Chains A and B, each alone.
Chain A
Amino acid sequence: MNQSRRTLLKSAVALGAVPVLPALAACSGGDPAGAPENSKATSLGSGLADAVPKSGIQAMVDGFQRSSGDTVRLNVMPRQQLIDNVSTYLQSNPEDVITWFAGYRMRYYAGKGLLAPIDDVWEKVGKNFGTGLADASSYEGKKYLVPNYNYPWVVFYRKSVWQQHGYEVPATWDALLALCARMKKDGLTPIAFGDKDGWPAMGTFDYLNMRTNGYQFHVDLCAHKESWDSPKVQAVFDNWKQLLPYQDTGALGATWQQAARSLASKKSGMYLIGTFLLQELTDKAVVDDLDFFAFPEIAVEGTDAVEAPIDGFVMAKRAEKNQAAKDFLAYLGTGKAQDAYAAKDPSNLQTAADADRSTFSPIQKKAAELIANAKSVSQFFDRDALPAMANNVMIPALQSFLKDGKIDIKGLETQAKTLYASA
């Protein structure tokens, strides 16, 4: 490190400089004309930079180039970079098609006019997607997203451990608590949990909230149409308090990957996490021994709601008139394209109805059924809510709740008011 008084000034002020960038970007405005209507070229900005998903995206691009003769320029950037800089990116010189997420994250930018509606693409591929997916891809009656894959959050367990102790899948909240108490007596950590990164706890919050107050409340709370300072939110945390002693008490120092190892090594009885768990656990003996169940019902709507974040593709506003981009998006919505992706990255579930499901593992089949039977599909708190709310408010609030079981819902509401007012 290089220290001097001037370096300090620079760093202190560089922090201040950041908000200026979007402003400068806004001034430049990119190329207003965009590509001509009969263009044979389009481009894809992909945030899937890890080796496996990257090869999946490449397979999709190759497939489209072969079948259409159009060319696709692929720009791969680190996922976090895309997420962190998306406002600037969308306002400057983005690729035509961009990997993105459903939920508030899509609706917000659609509402700001930075994404192009793609209803004409949906006319071609719409039959591939059910109402849950269609709703998740819409904003104010227009479609903005072509879903690629999704993955549900479920409660994983090891069959051999459960057989050994004679556990049964809990269908209700009371049964879950009773099971946890039994596991604790048997010397297991009932629920594996790693929240060092802050976001995994949102999965528990979302399920407790949807099971206690229903799906619509989750959506409205995330959009801040409901107040945080309400008995309903308090009830969620009251329920959580009952579960807290059974979640790994070392959660705040562990990542979700470390928690996964605790399940794999049979130290923990269950693990509430997305099916991306299977990317982490690759030992075949462990994978074959895994099973899962849906988060049990608590008060309302049974187990109707499933948390299953959807990853897909959106189109930048400036590519609105590029026919090649639209053709590309239509191709991405076909089972064929999604199969090409899934052949490389089988940990997620294709969303298109005509995708090939014969290669699914038993767990994938079960996960696909779970989503298909769900009446409503939530997108995870940090995709359904204002990112600043998720990042700056919920992460510290939930981490402090895990510490001592205390939550200040009034404080959550005051913070939410300020942040949503700035959005």
Chain B
Amino acid sequence: MTQTTAPAPVAAPAASPAPRARSGRVRRLTGTDRLVLGVMIGVPTLIQAVLIWIPTLLSIGLSFTRWNGLALSDIHSAGLANYRFAVDEYPPFWPAVWHNVIWLVFLAGIATPLGVVLAVLLDQKIRFTRLYQSIFFTPVMLSLVLVGIVWQLVYARDEGLLNNLLGTAGTPSAVDWFGDPHVNLWAALVATAWRHAGYIMVLYLAGLKGLDPSLREAAAIDGANDRQTLFKVVFPAMRQINVVVVVITLIEALRAFDIAYVINRGTNGLELLSILVIQNLVGEGQVIGVGSALAVLLLVVSLVPIVAYLIRTFRRAD
């Protein structure tokens, strides 16, 4: 991360002659500057280390042990047993992986494009555009509990809005949106799209608003139609935002959690990796070794897009 690399120039001159490339920049800093910079960068780095990196390393360590969470002397080495258990013997594991993949495909294929389309539409000079923006963005601001209640009202088998609109409520042919494991994943995905599209919309809209209007004017003068302007001029110019949107979509798919958890605590067709981690690490079902192993697996998977993104960012910064 950027902070961790930054303190070097501050400390360097004191110990040894600074590398020539940096010396010009460093010399301009006064003593106070250095102090302020050191504190401002050092404190967040310390917090990161204490709250994130140390626990991460401890977790990785614990994933190779068997521990009941009580006395430290109860920690026993378990080798790779927890990983073997998670991958081979824990029935919800592979369904969870599969559901995360479906989640990703759905977000990338439907929800994100939907958000982009909304943004492009609302960027036109239509009336009440701010009202529409607010409406689409509202789900992003709602708390987890409220989201759960809203979708409970929609999906409940007998009392729910959806089945009542379909006219099947109370009859045997009523679709059990939350209980039927073939359906509930899609019900949850629709609910997710409802939030995700609004979020992407706001991001994208901000990008569109920030776009230099002369670009469009130039395109118009050159005789491009709306479609050509959008695909050949606007999208390429929005490259930065596009990357952010892709990364966010990936991250959202990997950390998918809340809606499935609210529906039925992520069981019966709604298994997700993040939920398995929670089930095994927090609360009654705590099995620290297995839960840590699951968390490490999720971390490794998550690191792939993060590292890819960071490499991209740094390369551009250089």
Contact = CB atoms under 8 A, between A and B. Distances in A.
A252 B180 contact: yes
B288 A396 contact: no
Interface of B: 1, 51-53, 55-56, 58-60, 62, 66-72, 81, 85, 89-92, 140, 156-158, 176-181, 184, 195, 199, 247-248, 251-252, 254-255, 264-265, 267-268, 271, 274, 277-292, 295-296, 298-299, 302, 306, 309-310
Contacts of B157: 250, 253-254
Contacts of A399: 267-268
The 10 closest A-B pairs by CB, nearest first: A253-B179, A16-B59, A391-B285, A84-B283, A17-B55, A252-B179, A387-B284, A253-B176, A392-B285, A19-B288
Given A8-B251, A17-B55, A252-B180, A419 B287 contact: yes
Contact of B56 (A13, A87, A397): A13
Contacts of B277: 15
Contact of B279 (A197, A392, A400, A418): A392
A5 B267 contact: no
Nearest to B183: A253
A33 interface: no
Main secondary structure of the interface of A (DSSP, over half): helix
Given A8-B251, A252-B176, A392-B285, A418 B280 contact: no
Interface in A169-186: none
Given A83-B284, A84-B284, A388-B284, A13 B299 contact: yes
A17 B51 contact: yes
B284 A15 contact: no
Contact of A253 (B60, B140, B177, B289): B177
Contacts, number: 186
A415 B90 contact: yes
A418 B199 contact: no
Contacts of A8: 251, 254-255, 302, 306
A284 interface: no
Interface in A381-423: 382, 387-388, 390-392, 395-397, 399-400, 403, 408, 411, 414-415, 418-419, 421-423
B58 A20 contact: yes
Contact of A16 (B195, B271, B296): B296
Contact of A252 (B268, B280, B290): B268
